[in-house]
Structure 1
Amino acid sequence: MAHPDPELLALLALGEDAASAEDRLHLAGCAECRDEVARLGRAVAAARGGDEALETPGPRVWAGIAADVGVDAPDPLADARPAPAVPLRRRPPSRRRRIVAALAAAAAVLVIGGVGVTLLRTNPPSQQLETARLRAFPAWAGASGTAQLERLASGRLALRIQTDVPPDRSTDHEVWLMTAGARRLVSLGMLHGTSGVFLVPEGLDITRFRLVDVSDEPRDGNPAHSGDSIVRGELRA
């Protein structure tokens, strides 16, 4: 049975009873669709005043939302001073655009805390500092990837990872920074899919932790490196 249209999942997350009997049957047996509704629901709950930590979206986030909705408007949070109402230049939004706009606005302000989690999907302004070409280990012949060390507008360092080997259903891929010879190593978090952006821990001496490593990790509860590296490379200016 095919997955329901994404618009239906968005409507369910917004609390609308729009599912047919066939859709409800599919949702009852499809964990992937239920997870997607739950993910969108958390964003909606945050926008409606839930318990998740909220952060003021930047101008680029609002610009992306305005483009999706089809309006030409400035960042509504850029200036708190009262201003006269000005009609927006708007093209009639479809129902789908209204749903996308509502969820985009909610997702734009949802920030989930935690160690080693990837950054928001929106790309914050950044300055590229160094790159690494990630080369495969013998057991993973043919794999490859890239790493980019960036400085965010906040001043924090972040590592942008891209590989061509997605994790399978039984293991996870973990991103590490290592010193020469892999004598010391620090985990940045799990790589979900083939790309992600990770914050570098504050205080970490990036001039010593030059090696970027992506490992294949069994789900055994052991936080140590498995010893099964997929790709590795050294950061260079």
Structure 2
Amino acid sequence: MAHLSEETLALLALGESPEPEERAHLDGCGHCAAELAALGHVVRAGRAEPAPVPAPDPRVWTAVHAELGLAPELAADPLAAGDPGTDRAPSAPGASGPAAAGTSAAPSGPDGTGRDGTEQDGAEQDGAEQDAGQRPGTAARVDGAGSGGVVDLAARRARRGVPWPLAAAAAAAALVVGGVSVWGAQRLDREPDPTVLATAELEPLAGYTARGSAEVDERADGTRQLVVRTDPADVDGFKEVWLLAPDAQRMVSLGVMAGDEAVFVLPENLDVERFPVVDVSDEPVDGDPTHSGDSIVRGVLAT
């Protein structure tokens, strides 16, 4: 048994009366009835009064202003209520058309004339009503109440199979707005850049051509970390990072360096001045924890 198409179910959920054969199918097909019920929930949710969207925190605009390097006169948040930098008051909700553009339409009296006694142009009214019913994307109301009426979907039914891009576009726009708000909040909460305490240029040792760099950073919470970067190098085993004493007789292993960049958190009681030499070695997989004696690059930290 063929199920009802997605277009048919969508139109029925929007309020179109089913054809006799469609009603008979829904009475006997639990799958289509469940799909129609689910779509009905979506339609009701879409027609519900939307919750007001709060304005972004003013700090979001402050961060954007600083990131883009905008002029000082643009520092005021353009979305803030009563922004002194704008001369235009916020538009009233629902304001649109000629009245919103600055030309007011004279209200009609009980006899169909304007307040000044002149008759309104019936042809103009008819043309406006016809335009409202025929403009693409505008549904004509048949109850005359202006809200809660039945939507005439005959034209839409004849066009079944046409994609509906508007809902997708609206969803995409909502995602973009939400993404910008999250991006701004994340930037505001971003950890400050660490302070560089010392740096070193790593020079290649015999048998290697790779070079690199190292730096000791202090983060906002007071912890220190060693950041090591090197050029790609062919190794027989794995790369291990060490801090050596100037005589290279004492050393501290910081760990394995996977790839060409690695970050190591330094122990609180490790005195970098006692172990200022950064060394990256090629270590064989032999179970021996001591230095192999095969160094790829090496350099001395300096403040």
Flag the structure with more relative contact order, 1 or 2, with Cα contacts below 8 A and sequence separation at least 6.
Answer: 1
Superposition TM-score tier, normalisation by shorter sequence: 0.3 to 0.5
Give the TM-score taking structure 2 as reference length.
0.38
Give the structure with the larger strand fraction: 1
Normalising by structure 1, we get a TM-score of 0.48
More helix by share: 2
